[in-house]
Structure 1
Amino acid sequence: MSTAMFTSVSTRSASAYKRVAVQTSIDGASPHQLIGLLYDGLLESLGKARVAIERGDVEVKGKEIGRSVRILEEGLKASLNDDMGGELAVNLRGVYNYSILRLTEANLKNDSALVGEVSKLITTVSDAWKSINPIQAPNA
């Protein structure tokens, strides 16, 4: 049997630790912090997609762009509340839709610059989000 089909104990341990650390972060996070974690995951995935395009790794590119779009659609857009968020929620939805469009183009054209454009845009939004100090209401 080939040893290539097995991962090393340290690799499995590191992977398990990462899953536990992520789950712990999620379990103890406020709604505000959860959005911050989504931004972090999105930016990480965008970075991986950009590197994959530059290396010519089509499989990883597709996986990471797909993951980025899912975070935008199922995480960030889905969390918007137009009634409570008003114009800000509408504007963020526009940013997310634009980002999805640009990522689709990046995937079709193998264009890392388009992924970089989205990354820069999301970094700006993420930094602004993380600078907000949410006021916690009692029993919230």
Structure 2
Amino acid sequence: MYAAQQKYRALSIASRIEVASPHELVTILYEELVGALDITATAVAQGKLEAYRASRERASSILLALEASLDFERGGSVARTLSEIYRAMQKELSLCVQTGDAGKLKAIRGSVAELLAAWAKIRAREPA
């Protein structure tokens, strides 16, 4: 059952990505990052090390993708600030590996949720 859910989810994401604008792609990355952090926190709480490692690696990869997508030339100080935020999240995520601190994971997730909400507000202001 779980494998079927994963396949359906992957197909759903793939179909969204195919038609997404650059702004929507960032939204998808933020949503996926929130999900990966949720899975990571649950795996820590349940002591499931393999699930923890896989979801933490996914979260880390998404943070790298977000940082790689920044346009420092056009984005200026906003891009630099986001880069610093993503790097700080990477460090916190790495510390969670060493300590298993679910509180840090929740803090990172909260920050990503705030970024997602801000990104959604920007999207809402854009002309259709």
For 1:122, the equivalent position in structure 2 comes to: 112
1:130 offset after TM fit, Å?
1.1
Alignment partners' CA distance in 2, 1:123 and 1:34: 16
Q: Could you state the TM-score of these two structures normalised by the residue count of structure 2?
A: 0.91
Cα distance in 2 between the residues matched to 1:85 and 1:127: 19
2:38 to 35, 47, 57: 47
Q: 1:21 to 1:91 in 2, by over 3 A?
A: same
Deviations 1:65-105 (A, max 9, x none): 111010001x1000001110000000000100000000000
Q: Aligned letter for 2:10?
A: R
| Coordinate RMSD, CA, aligned | 1.6
- Rounded Cα–Cα distance in structure 1 between residues aligned with 2:92 and 2:9: 30
Tell me which stretches of 4 or more aligned residues in structure 1 moved more than 6 Å.
Answer: none
Distance 1:93 1:84 in 2: 14
SS at match of 1:132: helix
Unaligned runs of 5+ in 2: none
Pairwise CA distance, 1:11: 5.5
How far does residue 20 in structure 1 lie from its aligned partner after superposition?
A: 2.2
| Structure with more of its chain in helix, by fraction | 2
In percent, how many aligned pairs have the same letter? Answer: 25
Aligned match for 2:9, one of 11, 18, 25:
18
Q: 1:105 aligns to what?
A: 95
**Aligned residue type for 2:53:** G
Query: 2 CA distance for matches of 1:30 and 1:44?
Result: 21
